[in-house]
Amino acid sequence: MAMTWLITGANRGIGLEMARQLRERGDVVVGTARDPGDAEALEAVAERVIKLDVSSEASIEWAAMELGEMPLDALVNNAGSPPVKGSITELDLAEFEAAMAIHALGPLRVTRAVLPNLRRGSGKLIVTISSELGSNEIAQGSLYYGYKMGKAAANMFTSTLGTDLKSEGFTCLAMHPGWVSTRMGGEQAPVTPEESVSAMLKALGGLGPGDSGSFVDRFGEGLAY
């Protein structure tokens, strides 16, 4: 049975590739972009393209109004911003706050806003694209304050959400897609968007409510928080 997916930050990179692969297999995609005018590739594969800035509460509320009572089977919190490296003395607090707004608060705000739509759907799947840089055990030594702290918060959000929605049968996952060769990941990254998304979608097919709250890699294997 075809599923209806909402993917944030779907106008490029992992989000766009996920939209393409879902469309190819017959699913319905609603994609979001901060600038729909710069989302021609997304428009070619998505049922709808909605303007959304995940760092803005007003933008999220507007996007939720655009969705109306449309049932959603799955939400992918994919929107992100690149890591900015620097020591504590070099840290730009405005950049730090922007990273936290996108990576930490963004998934929470979007999920809360569209939860009524997800409750109307049958898939009950919420995936937040995270990073191994959000794992305290794995990511020691790299000076990416905003990105690492934002992803760590997103992981904890997923863990808490899994407990919160357990009685409703939701599957809530934080997922590390690998180091992917996107504009954010850079050309030196060893994993292509096609490879990453193919693995993630395959893994999602084998995960369910019993795995809710977990942090996993693109193959569905558990990662340390």
Of residues 142 and 60, which shows the higher confidence score? Answer: 60
For residue 149, tell me if it sits in a domain. Answer: yes
For residue 225, tell me if it sits in a domain. Answer: no
For residue 223, tell me if it sits in a domain. Answer: no
Rounded to the nearest 5°, which phi and psi values hold at 128? -110, 120
Q: What is the pTM of this model?
A: 0.96
- Domain of residue 41 covers 4-217
pLDDT confidence of residue 134 = 94
Using CA atoms, how far apart are residues 204 and 221, in angstroms rounded to an integer? 11
For residue 91, tell me if it sits in a domain. Answer: yes
Q: What is the pLDDT of residues 205-219, one digit of tens each?
A: 999 999 999 999 999
**Range 17-32 average pLDDT:** 98
**Range 163-175 average pLDDT:** 98
Is it the case that residue 140 has pLDDT exceeding 80?
no
- Looking at 144, 145, 147, 225, which residue is catalytic? 144
pLDDT confidence of residue 136 = 86
What residues form DSSP beta bridges with 31?
7, 49
CATH number, position 80: 3.40.50.720
For residue 224, tell me if it sits in a domain. Answer: no
For residue 196, tell me if it sits in a domain. Answer: yes
Is it the case that residue 187 has pLDDT exceeding 90?
no
For residue 222, tell me if it sits in a domain. Answer: no
Length of the chain measured in residues: 225
225 is catalytic: no
